[in-house]
């Protein structure tokens, strides 16, 4: 079987340090063939930098998906321009956007196709239709005969994630939601063999409001004045994600197990 660890949005320095501290034990436990994480909040909660990507590669993450915040630091363009870049962005951005929306990985004789998509509900941007986009990508890679196909669907609305999950049931190995930073308890294998969860959660500050200092965010709700909030750099780090087992002959999921643990930073 193919064994995969996939972690929710790594948020800031505390999230990166938490991953460095927790990943060796998780790899020892699960013995994954590949480890993937969403990186759109890697650099102080907004965007990515070349140094933070290198830090996470050194920690043992093999590749990264992202979302709408990946552009918040200009380093993203340099990372996307790299040959065989470890970072992908949602595939349903316009074609001329920097970067690629999918990556075909080789694990020995096996091939794993990782695809990034973004939702349209509650986003201000006018993204291409993720339902139509994924059909085009799956058709494009038919000839490669991937042994597993993993989707990171970076979306706000649970209904949109669930709908795409059912749309892709039997077409992909796993449909994993990201973006909301709160891990959902609906991990399951759908009728046609696709592993599903509405949101992987977050790898970042546990005592926070989805990664940001809680007092400032609470005050924003009281005053309706949106002031910036700091990212906690010490304290408990929650580690959220899933462990997947995929049958390489059928592309179907055999197992999806939630990871929800903590380490002190």
Pairing of strands 253-264, 236-246: antiparallel
Contacts of 15 (CB under 8 A, 6+ apart): 9, 41, 42, 202, 203, 204, 205, 211, 237
Collapsing DSSP to helix, strand or coil, 257 comes out as strand
Alpha-carbon distance of 255 to 205, in angstroms, equals 28
Q: Which two tokens stand for residue 63?
A: 């590749």
Active-site residue among 69, 154, 179, 181? Answer: 69
- Rama region for 33: left / alpha / beta (φ>0; ψ in -120 to 50; rest): alpha
69 as an active site residue: the answer is: yes
Round to the nearest angstrom and report the end-to-end CA distance of the chain: 34
Catalytic residue numbers read: 69
């Amino acid at each position: 079987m193919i064994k995969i660890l996939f972690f929710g949005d790594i948020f800031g320095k505390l999230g990166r340090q938490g991953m460095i501290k927790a990943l060796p034990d998780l790899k020892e436990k699960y013995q994954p063939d590949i480890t993937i994480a969403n990186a759109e909040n890697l650099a102080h909660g907004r965007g990515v930098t070349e140094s933070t990507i290198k830090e996470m590669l050194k920690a043992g993450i093999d590749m990264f998906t992202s979302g709408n915040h990946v552009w918040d630091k200009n380093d993203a363009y340099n990372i996307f321009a790299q040959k065989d870049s470890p970072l992908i962005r949602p595939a349903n951005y316009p074609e001329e956007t920097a970067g690629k929306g999918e990556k075909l990985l080789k694990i020995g004789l096996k091939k794993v196709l990782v695809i990034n998509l973004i939702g349209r509900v509650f986003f201000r941007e006018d993204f291409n239709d993720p339902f139509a986009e994924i059909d085009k990508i799956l058709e494009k890679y038919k000839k490669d005969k991937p042994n597993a196909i993993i989707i990171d669907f970076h979306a706000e609305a649970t209904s949109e994630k669930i709908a795409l999950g059912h749309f892709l049931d039997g077409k992909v190995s796993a449909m994993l939601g990201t973006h909301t930073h709160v891990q959902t308890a609906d991990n399951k294998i759908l009728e046609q063999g696709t592993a599903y969860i509405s949101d992987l959660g977050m790898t970042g500050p546990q005592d926070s409001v989805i990664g940001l200092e809680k007092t400032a965010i609470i005050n924003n709700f009281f005053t309706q004045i949106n002031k910036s909030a700091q990212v906690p750099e010490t304290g408990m780090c929650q580690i959220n994600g899933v462990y997947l087992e995929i049958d390489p002959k059928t592309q179907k999921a055999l197992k999806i197990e939630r990871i929800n643990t903590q380490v002190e930073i």
